[in-house]
Amino acid sequence: MIAADHSLVADLVSANHILFRHGIVDAFGHVSVRHDGDPARFLLARNMAPALVTPADIMAFAHDGTPLGGDDRQPYLERFIHGAIYRARPDVSAVVHSHAASLIPFGVVHDAPLRPIYHMSSFLLRPVPVFEIRDAAGPENDLLVRDDALGDALAAALGDHTAVLMRGHGATIVGRDVRQAVFCAVYTAQNALLQSDAMRLGGAVTYLSETEAERATVTNAGQVERAWSLWRRDA
């Protein structure tokens, strides 16, 4: 099996720790990267708390969720989220699955879509879609994306967006690389907090216009390393 670059593995480990530090994951949730030597594979930690991940805990998977290289350690149940998105989105090289509490209300209140409220979350651009697992799994489900079919349904709900909410569960956020995916995951959760606060004040909320969002996204794309270097040091 082609070995992944050491720097990619190091970034994946740092991503786990940063996401924990910012409350995007806790004992649960996970982050993956597309394999740099083979785009049909991805890297993801074994089934464990993200804050405890080390390079030795990283596993390689085929896009159908099969562990590679004879690795028989227990994988995350929802690894199918990652493989399905990598199949559907060639532009995506990192995926974050989060249970951040600030995001949950926007997945269950239909007339309160998550929208970009400030420039740091401009990448949301349009209202964030919501994945309703009942539509794919029926009423007899446990809200987990346990197989390829449910992974495909989630990827379809994500479409070409940066984030998709998962009703009663959390959210999945993607990026062109792991540093951008972490950046977007942090500021998606922060946007939810600010939007909730603004809505509680009463009256109409002013969201970013499409032009503002597009222009701010271009600007912010050049600032990801600034955030990453600080967050990695603190984590």
Q: Taking all residues of the chain, what is their mean pLDDT, rounded to a whole number?
A: 97
Sequence-ordered alpha helix ranges (H) in 133-202: 133-137, 148-158, 178-200
Mean pLDDT score, 34-45: 96
Whether residue 223 lies inside any domain: the answer is: no
What pTM value is reported for the model?
0.96
Query: Tell me, what's the pLDDT at 126?
Result: 87
Is residue 171, in this structure, part of any structural domain at all? yes
Tell me, yes or no, whether 234 lies in a domain: no
Quote the tokens at residue 176: 């062109």
Q: Residue 90: which domain range? A: 6-114+129-179
Residue 190 predicted with pLDDT over 70: yes
pLDDT at 97: 98
Indicate if the pLDDT at residue 196 is higher than 90.
yes
CATH of the domain at 105: 3.40.225.10
pLDDT tens digits along 73-110: 999 999 999 999 999 999 999 999 999 999 999 999 99
The pair of structure tokens assigned to 87 is 């199949």
Residue 12 belongs to some domain of the structure = yes
Q: How far apart are CA 96 and CA 182, in angstroms?
A: 7
**Is the alpha carbon torsion for 176, 178, 183, 186 positive or negative?**
positive
Does some domain include residue 152?
yes
- 157: in domain: yes
Rounded CA-CA distance 40/42 in Å is 7
List beta partners, residue 59. 44
Has residue 185 been placed in a domain?
no
**In the structure, what pLDDT confidence band is assigned to residue 37 with cuts at 50, 70 and 90?**
very high
Domain count, the chain: 1
Domain assignment present for residue 204? The answer is: no
pLDDT of residue 1: 60
Residues involved in catalysis: 78
- Quick one: average pLDDT of 120-126? 95
